[in-house]
Chains A and B, each alone.
Chain A
Amino acid sequence: MDIRAFLDADEQKDLLRLLTAGSVDDGKSTLIGRLLFDSKKLYDDQLAALERDSKRVGNAGDHIDYALLLDGLKAEREEGITIDVAYRYFSTNRRKFIIADTPGHEQYTRNMITGGSTANLAIILVDCRTGVITQTRRHTYLVSLLGIKHIVLAVNKMDLVDFDQKVFDNIVQDYRALTDQLGIEDVTCFPLSALDGDNVVERSERTPWYQGPALLEFLETVPIHADRNFTDFRYPVQYVLRPNLDFRGFSGKVASGVVRVGDEVVALPSMKRSHVKSIVTYDGELQYAFPPQSVTITLEDEIDISRGEMIVHPDNLPCIGRHFTTMLVWMDEEPMDTGKQFFLKHNTNTTRASIVALRHRVDVNTLEQKPGKPFQLNEIGQVDILTAKTLFFDAYAKNRQTGAFILIDPITNNTSAVGMILSPLDESALENDIIPTLDLPKLGISPDHYAAIDTAVRELARQGLEIRVIK
């Protein structure tokens, strides 16, 4: 293949984002190193550095210690563990891959959640000598919580049990019991030796009883296209483009569904209707747009739409409301304070929000529910949230893009928690609302100042501080 042909073929490849979970002992870094190495991604000088480092600080004896490749930071190298999410890139002739490499220790649930949020597929590693352990359950639960559609169970270190089929079959059986319980449908299991390379890039001769593909071949071919939601059009307006008086465009990324020129659309929350006049990009106009394209939409009618609002089809509306129940993962060192008002960011919308009810916490090791009390770092559970502004959302299970949000601490600005929405709740039942009210006549403010107050209130709303004004 000449270089032009190579580049032309390369251009057509799609992208698979994958998450790897497992502990240092499971050989996770070795497996990733092997995928990178055997797909020829490592350059010679990286290899030379690796050999040098392996001799100095490695844990792999005479082998090259692939784990050293992945541990980027000095502090971690000293501790001998990976402490955060690291991203790796490699490509084969069929596909490009982004690996989010995350650690397996319990206190680092938050890192795995971080690394997995955009993943199409998760590789869960187990050591075949220990099989499905608490950590495996935890990882699998987190993967199901994130809604990752495809799971690979990598049963590693098969060389240490002489590639015994019985060992593999027993682990697979245990694991399927777990994934059935969690309702995960697409699970594929591989008998591997990452250290020796068995069934990683090529089928191993040492597992004649295994009929499936090698891991890399599977990763190259697993269909991921249908995982996106092409049904429910959701377009969170990100930026209003007004280069001149004749052009008013609404820029954003299509969160889900497909929109076409001429479609009737409705803007939320105003419920004003119009038709799509054009779909504009730098490279020319499009006839239709789909996720995850970033485009600019213009409408036939002059409707006032701002960032944080949403354009949808009138016959397919999201949930519209301020009160919902959700799974929440606590990501902050500081424990949850239910008396606090947070900033909630959902798509392009930011608002004040409160946690108004704690339903339960999940023990990630046993998957049992525990009584709801304020969450500590890495705790997961179900809570109810009330927002100041109206949100336009879907259940996370139905729509990953419009069902996810983050909670930001208003004092430290840390991302304190992340949520996956379950379903909307009734607002009328709420006794204590969180929106402050300005009763202008009561405060003795003359109507001359109403316009200025409206401007200030709109600006505060843009920043997530909703205020109700009574005139």
Chain B
Amino acid sequence: MNNYHLSHLQELEAESIHIIREVAAEFENPVMLYSIGKDSSVMVRLAEKAFAPGKVPFPLMHIDSKWKFREMIEFRDSYAKQHGWNLIVESNMEAFNAGVGPFTHGSKVHTDLMKTKALLDALNKYKFDAAFGGARRDEEKSRAKERIFSFRDQFQQWDPKNQRPELWDIYNARIHKGESIRVFPLSNWTELDIWQYIRLENIPIVPLYYAKERPCVEIDGNLIMADDDRLPEQYRPLIKPRMVRFRTLGCWPLTGAVESNATTIEEIVEEMMTTTKSERTTRVIDFDQEASMEQKKREGYF
């Protein structure tokens, strides 16, 4: 036995940094997709670590569906400014101006246009050849099989039956013009690892993760927070203050809150360990149709 020991988190950190540097070295125009969620916050910190004491050599990009929680947008802008990130924000303005939204068009149409299409358009606009995403393999069944370097054809589509073999830490970064690679440096992290890392590294996260009294209304069994005045008229009289927090963050009408008293990371983890619901059950979009996340991924959504 010697002193050359890494804990699982240190090993995961080293693996992620290696992946991030590999992308910076092999691609001409990479981008880090930033969802403002806890996983993104960890990924961003890992990128900062990978190039310290230098600056990260690629930009952050947020696809703003125009229905994100206001606190997310505030957090995004202040974090990027404080940490000197080059931040790109893109939206599908055409659909937004046409009035597309989750209340009027349903979650599927809204997600297709404001998230998937907005993302694909942005990737094409800037001609990014590699895009980092914060997805983890333990999040969802179809993600468990995805490579760390995940090949996308010129239409940004994923073919789960035709993935490149991926061995050791040797990543195949070769692509033809128009094709791209999605890169998942957090592939091997679990939800607990993420929280543990946030705790140890003091990584700032959006306050919505912590429990607080918030104005909520129950819609189709989900506890939805009334984040702005676009909540349809019929729900307004039903708004009640509830002590809640969010386990994932997305568009506010599509993200269910959970009742909670957890105001620290330790309490969040404690709640997570004893909870009866897995992380993505508060996401309305996963229940659209059978095998829905796989479908979305094939189409280009993460």
Contact = CB atoms under 8 A, between A and B. Distances in A.
Interface of A: 3-4, 6-7, 10-15, 43-46, 70-75, 77, 83-89, 91, 96, 98, 110-111, 113-114, 117-118, 225-226, 228, 230, 238-239, 241-243, 247, 249, 251-253, 258, 280-283, 290-294, 296, 307, 331, 343, 345-348, 400-401, 404-406, 408, 413-415, 418
Interface centre among B1, B142, B145, B188 (most CB of A within 10 A): B145
B176 interface: yes
A84 B10 CA distance: 28
Nearest to B292: A74
B172 A406 contact: yes
A13 B54 contact: no
B200 A11 contact: yes
B267 A401 contact: no
B160 A73 contact: yes
27 contacts: A6-B269, A7-B196, A10-B192, A13-B7, A14-B7, A14-B8, A72-B141, A72-B143, A72-B145, A73-B142, A73-B145, A74-B290, A83-B161, A84-B161, A96-B8, A114-B165, A114-B166, A117-B168, A225-B1, A238-B18, A251-B50, A290-B4, A292-B15, A293-B14, A348-B22, A406-B165, A415-B165
Given A242-B54, A406-B170, 19 more contacts: A11-B9, A11-B196, A15-B8, A15-B11, A43-B276, A70-B144, A71-B141, A72-B143, A84-B160, A86-B145, A89-B137, A230-B2, A241-B53, A243-B55, A296-B52, A343-B174, A413-B172, A413-B176, A418-B165
Interface in B46-99: 48-55
Contact of A14 (B5, B281, B290): B5
A15 B25 contact: no
A142 B5 CA distance: 28
Contact of B277 (A43, A243, A247): A43
A280 B53 contact: yes
A311 to B, nearest CB: 15
Interface residues of B, number: 71
B12 interface: yes
A73 B4 contact: no
Contacts of B8: 13-15, 96
A75 B1 contact: no
B144 A282 contact: no
Contact of A281 (B6, B12, B52, B141): B52
B175 interface: yes
Contacts of A118: 167-169
Contacts of A406: 165, 167, 170, 172
A442 B145 CA distance: 54
B278 interface: yes
Nearest to B293: A72
A46 B7 CA distance: 29
B123 to A, nearest CB: 19
A13 B170 CA distance: 26
Which 3 pairs from chain A and chain B are nearest by CB? Answer: A243-B54, A72-B141, A282-B52
Interface string B260-276: 00000011011001011
A178 B8 CA distance: 34
B299 interface: no
Nearest to B45: A282
A347 B277 contact: no
B291 interface: yes
A247 B53 contact: yes
Nearest to B197: A11
A245 B53 CA distance: 13
Given A73-B142, A83-B161, A292-B14, A239 B276 contact: no
Contacts of B13: 294
Contacts of B24: 239
B119 interface: no
A445 B138 CA distance: 59
Interface centre among B24, B53, B266 (most CB of A within 10 A): B53
A242 B24 CA distance: 14
Contacts of B4: 228, 230, 258, 290-291
Contacts of B174: 343, 408, 413
Contacts of A346: 170
A111 to B, nearest CB: 8
Contact of B167 (A12, A91, A238, A404): A404
Nearest to A146: B167
A72 B161 contact: no
Contact of B6 (A14, A77, A114, A348): A14
A334 B79 CA distance: 48
Contacts of A225: 1, 5
Nearest to B266: A3
A96 B199 CA distance: 18
Contacts of A243: 51, 53-55
B164 interface: yes
